[in-house]
Amino acid sequence: MKNKYIFIVLTLGLLFGLSCEKELLTQADYTDYAFAGIDEKGGSWKPILLSGASQIVIPAPKDVTSDEYKTELNNVKLAMSTLNTAQRETIAYWTNNPILRWNEIALELATKYNLIPEPNADGSYPVPDAANPGKYPLFPYSHPPYTCRALAYLSVAQFDGLISAWNYKFKYNRKAPYEVDNSIVPAYAKTALPAYPADAAVVAAASRDILIAMFPLEKDYLIAKANENMVCLTWAGVNVQSDVDAGAIIGAEVAKVALQRAGSDGMKRAQTPRAISDSIKTAALNRFGWQWDNQESPVRPVGLAPLFGKVKMWNVPTVEEVRPPVPPKPGSAEFNVAVQELKDVTKNLTTEQRKIANWWSDGLNTYTPPGHWNRFAKNFLIKYKFNPLRSARTLAYMNMAIMDAGISCWDAKYYYHYPRPIQTIPGFKTILGTPNFPAYTSGHSTFSAAGAEVLSYIFPAEAQQCQTWAREAAESRIYGGIHYRFDAEAGLTQGKNVAVYAVNRAKKDGAE
Amino acid sequence: MKNNLTRIFLLVLSIGYVGILKAQTPSDDLLMQKREFCVALLYDAGSWDQYWEGTRLRSNANIGTFSKKALTSMVAYGITNKINLIATLPYIQTEATGGQLKGAKGIQDLNIAIKGEIFNQQVGPGKISFLATGGFGTPVSNYLSDYQPFSLGLGTNEWSLRGILQYRFDNGIYVRGAAAHLWRGQTKVERDFYYNNGAYYSEWMDVPNALNYHASVGTWLFNSALKIEANYMGLRSTSGDDIRIYNSPQPTNQVEVDQVGFFAQYYFKTIKPLQGFGVIASYSKMIHGRNMGQFQNYGFGITYQFKI
């Protein structure tokens, strides 16, 4: 009998234990919200790529008194009267600021495709092929340069599209369905924003087309997502179909403009053949007397995106003007100090330091450091209840700065071609994997300082927090054993310097 | 039947580059008598140079040969003749010959189990017995479960319920089967975003539950001084994801193992100064797996039994 009691106790213990399990979020936990402001003058802000807010043309809307509009309004009411639970959940998912969801979708795809190619049986390495994306290794390999670029185009297209939308909203001033017919109770917080064209449809269409170009294997998924986002607008009672259609036109057109730039920004040449990679390495050896060599087995013959440093920058005229100074020569006193620090820190790593290293590792199969900063930005956008236009502006300037920081960082990495700690310190072991590119400067530090600088400008009250995060991200690479302190320090300065160009442009775009 | 008492649970199942079972789980028919203690020190050395990425067996030159050494202390105590308490605590060290990643070392999980005999009776030319074990394991150091394959363990609590059925012929030959359900909790990792067939925004990872099977055929020889046994162990996670191509494993992975092995235990019954002592040797090899290193393990141990 005793056994029985023991097992009863154990079973109860089990049930108690399992009931303590945490709910694991798969997306940001937020709902629709009332915007802190509606930026009536948003249509006059200066776009990034478009010549102006009326470069993209949409038809003038029918008046709310027209038969066409009344039919559309009735369709909205009909759809709203028959919504099922799944439809209501979909409406709740998208919210009235789908900028946040599309950014989240982009981060998830970046994570999914952030896998480094494995070697072939003969020790060579295959390279993803944009012309044949479904063949292993799948295209893209969304490493940090790839991801920061995808996010920049996504955010810029959203921003320019919304400036265009704001222009027409206040030009035509067509009211939202719930203002035309007060029997309609919208699913989202009411706003004084005119409804034509639907801002969310701009975001959905632009995001869909940019992300299809960046993640071609996800085309069907992205089309379905965009359709879902758009249909929610009538279900939610915030737009009629012609609002949505006009928004979709702007979204598709602005994506074309952005993708035209992307097609000629130099990214296609960033991952070089072996011969070019070798010549870059030799140039560094001749110039400085050192070179970085990949330490993997088998050796990867080409580093990650050697010519990403040549990609067209958004806001910095020439990459050379933000290039950091020459790092200390291996074997020099300054170098030896950095090496000694690395040895000491990694040998006596505290629990806190280990956590910092892992917290910021943002390596393979993650959203990378640019993704991490987009996550921070989204949390602020929600906290400060930014409308979609101002949200897009924040992300556009931040992601342009982060991409420019990445370009500048990669320029330094391959110009200086500086060896990693595992190459210069015999027998050195680390808790983080060493990436397949040179050490100087630290990408984490550069990306993070740039992200922090823009977010500090947009959210002055969060500046302290952002700078603390950037500093921690930089330090994390020392704790992880994969960067010298001078990589991190130079990266922080470099990222900040690069971001100043974006902030200076933002200050003059008319939004202040 | 004093010799019956010392025989303890020594399938050292420190399988898994993640230490899937954390430590051996009592899965045999043996019980200590009331107020009898058995203490043991077990050493187990496991290694692999290939692992299953999903179901594909592969090598990785940046790991080379992976090794895991475990030194486990164990104590078993007879609360009554029919109910035993067993506790184990392993110290584990992991390292790899290839690549630049640091190994890990430290104390892993404390496991406590209660084993009870439900029935035991003569049927034909032998005895049939049925036992049940309830166990609980919990990490006792702050090792990181999200540092695969070097992690010391899964970093979460584990509850287990196991049924053991044995038929032992009067001549010493026995066959035994055991089946268990392992309930695993969540493990706290040092990041708040990860991928598990989709994005997760959490510091916690779900560790899949698992089913665990054992089957053995063995015999007692030399007046029950020596036990030799051939055995099989199977593990099946009931959910989880696969390791992605050339990516690291993580605690959320769906793990499967089929492992065969041998086991021998000798009791110094007649050598006066060594009375109470026993020695153990074991060998096992994984023959099929999923999201797991193909371990081959050698184990040695010493046991000592006494009464208070």
Searching chain A, which residue's CA lies closest to the CA of residue B133? A7
CB contact under 8 A, B246 and A115: yes
Which candidate, B261, B286, B214, places its Cα nearest to that of B55? Answer: B286
- For the cut 60, the answer to whether the pLDDT of residue A10 exceeds it is no
The answer to whether B196 and B237 are in contact (CB under 8 A) is: no
Residue B195: which H helix or E strand, with range? strand B194-195
- Token pair 């290039």 is at which residue? A323
Q: Which of A18, A137, A296 sits opposite B183 (nearest CB)?
A: A18
How many Cα atoms sit within 13 Å of B68 on the Cβ side?
Answer: 33
User: pLDDT (tens digit, 9 = 90+) per residue, A496-508?
Assistant: 999 999 999 999 9
Q: Note the pTM of the prediction, 2 decimals.
A: 0.94
Which candidate, B101, B107, B96, B99, places its Cα nearest to that of B48? Answer: B96
CB contact under 8 A, A14 and B116: no
Searching chain A, which residue's CA lies closest to the CA of residue B150? A431
- The values of phi and psi at residue A426, to 5°, are -60, 135
Q: What is the 3-state secondary structure (H, E, C) of A85-149?
A: HHHHHHHHHHCCCCHHHHHHHHHHHHHHCCCCCCCCCCCCCCCCCCCCCCCCCCCCCCCHHHHHH
The answer to whether B270 and B9 are in contact (CB under 8 A) is: no
User: pLDDT (tens digit, 9 = 90+) per residue, A180-209?
Assistant: 999 999 999 999 999 999 999 999 999 999
User: pLDDT (tens digit, 9 = 90+) per residue, A248-284?
Assistant: 999 999 999 999 999 999 999 999 999 999 999 999 9
- Token pair 């797991």 is at which residue? B292
Q: Which residues on chain B are in Cβ contact (under 8 Å) with A14?
A: 159, 183
**Which of A297, A299, A420 to mutate against chain B (most B CBs within 10 Å)?**
A297
pLDDT confidence of residue B20: 28
pLDDT confidence of residue B15: 27
Q: In whole angstroms, what separates CA A266 from the centre of its chain? A: 19
- Token pair 């200076």 is at which residue? A504
* DSSP of A251-265: HHHHHHHHHHHHHTS
CB contact under 8 A, B99 and A297: yes
Going by their DSSP bridges, the two strands B173-184 and B66-78 should be labelled as: unpaired
Q: Which residues on chain B are in Cβ contact (under 8 Å) with A122?
A: none
Searching chain B, which residue's CA lies closest to the CA of residue A359? B191
The answer to whether A145 and A304 are in contact (CB under 8 A) is: yes
Rounded distance between C-alpha atoms, residue A485 and residue A420, angstroms: 12
Strand blocks (E) in B12-157: 36-48, 51-53, 56-58, 66-78, 83-96, 104-107, 109-123, 126-139
CB contact under 8 A, B192 and A359: yes
Handedness of CA A305, A311, A316, A322 (dihedral sign): positive
Rounded distance between C-alpha atoms, residue B27 and residue B20, angstroms: 16
Rounded distance between C-alpha atoms, residue B70 and residue B297, angstroms: 10
Q: Which of B201, B202, B204 sits opposite A28 (nearest CB)?
A: B201
Searching chain B, which residue's CA lies closest to the CA of residue A115? B247
pLDDT confidence of residue B272: 78
Rounded distance between C-alpha atoms, residue B292 and residue B19, angstroms: 10
pLDDT confidence of residue B23: 25
Torsion on CA atoms A45, A48, A51, A54, rounded to nearest 10: -50
pLDDT band at residue A63 under the 50/70/90 scheme: very high
Q: Which residues on chain A are in Cβ contact (under 8 Å) with B244?
A: 115, 365
Strand blocks (E) in A315-413: none
Amino acid at the residue A385: K
- List C-alpha distances in Å: B37 to A17, A412, B66, B75, B177: 30, 66, 35, 7, 25
For chains A and B, count residue pairs whose Cβ atoms are closer than 8 Å. 132
The answer to whether A416 and A442 are in contact (CB under 8 A) is: no
- Section A81-88 average pLDDT: 98
Rounded distance between C-alpha atoms, residue A472 and residue A478, angstroms: 10
Along the 308 residues of chain B, how does pLDDT read in single tens digits? Answer: 333 333 333 332 222 222 222 222 346 777 888 999 999 999 999 999 999 999 999 999 999 999 999 999 999 999 999 999 999 999 999 999 999 999 999 999 999 999 999 999 999 999 999 999 999 999 999 999 999 999 999 999 999 999 999 999 999 999 999 999 999 999 999 999 999 999 999 999 999 999 999 999 999 998 888 999 999 999 999 999 999 999 999 999 999 999 999 999 998 877 778 888 999 999 999 999 999 999 999 999 999 998 88
Rounded distance between C-alpha atoms, residue B291 and residue B257, angstroms: 9
- For the cut 90, the answer to whether the pLDDT of residue A136 exceeds it is yes
| DSSP helix/strand/coil, B52 | strand
- The values of phi and psi at residue B300, to 5°, are -135, 150
pLDDT confidence of residue B14: 27
pLDDT band at residue A154 under the 50/70/90 scheme: very high
Rounded distance between C-alpha atoms, residue A342 and residue A430, angstroms: 10
The answer to whether B162 and B212 are in contact (CB under 8 A) is: yes
| DSSP helix/strand/coil, A302 | coil
Going by their DSSP bridges, the two strands B210-221 and B173-184 should be labelled as: antiparallel
Rounded distance between C-alpha atoms, residue A105 and residue A207, angstroms: 10
Give exposure, A91-110, as e/b (b: 16+ Cβ within 10 Å): beebbbbbbbbbbbbbbbbb
The mean-pLDDT minimum among A11-15, A234-238, B240-244 falls in A11-15
Q: Partners of B194 in the beta sheet?
A: B200
Which candidate, A502, A360, A335, A491, places its Cα nearest to that of A413? Answer: A491
- The values of phi and psi at residue B249, to 5°, are -70, 165
Q: State the nearest Cα–Cα gap between B140 and chain A, in angstroms.
A: 15
User: pLDDT (tens digit, 9 = 90+) per residue, A282-331?
Assistant: 999 999 999 999 999 999 999 999 999 999 999 999 999 999 999 999 99
CB contact under 8 A, A104 and B193: no
Q: Which of A17, A136, A433 sits opposite B185 (nearest CB)?
A: A17
Q: Which residues on chain A are in Cβ contact (under 8 Å) with B80?
A: 2
- A218's tokens: 């996800």
Handedness of CA B195, B197, B198, B202 (dihedral sign): negative
| DSSP helix/strand/coil, A7 | helix
CB contact under 8 A, A27 and B199: yes
What percentage of chain A reaches a pLDDT higher than 70?
96
CB contact under 8 A, A26 and B201: yes
- For the cut 90, the answer to whether the pLDDT of residue A70 exceeds it is yes
Q: State the nearest Cα–Cα gap between B200 and chain A, in angstroms.
A: 4
- A457's tokens: 């400008």
Q: State the nearest Cα–Cα gap between B273 and chain A, in angstroms.
A: 37
| DSSP helix/strand/coil, A169 | helix
Q: Which residues on chain B are in Cβ contact (under 8 Å) with A355?
A: 190
Q: What is the CA radius of gyration of chain A?
A: 25
pLDDT confidence of residue A5: 62
Q: What is the DSSP letter of B145?
A: T
CB contact under 8 A, B185 and A20: yes
Q: Which residues on chain A are in Cβ contact (under 8 Å) with B136?
A: 10, 13
CB contact under 8 A, A22 and B99: no
Q: Partners of B111 in the beta sheet?
A: B88, B137
Order of strands across the sheet with B292-293?
Answer: B56-58, B51-53, B292-293
Q: State the nearest Cα–Cα gap between A270 and chain B, in angstroms.
A: 23
User: pLDDT (tens digit, 9 = 90+) per residue, A329-368?
Assistant: 999 999 999 999 999 999 999 999 999 999 999 999 999 9
The answer to whether A159 and A393 are in contact (CB under 8 A) is: yes
Rounded distance between C-alpha atoms, residue A452 and residue A124, angstroms: 39
CB contact under 8 A, A430 and B102: yes
CB contact under 8 A, B116 and A2: yes
CB contact under 8 A, A6 and B116: yes
- Token pair 């990041």 is at which residue? B191
Rounded distance between C-alpha atoms, residue A259 and residue A97, angstroms: 23
- A345's tokens: 């820190």
CB contact under 8 A, B83 and A2: yes
CB contact under 8 A, B132 and A25: no
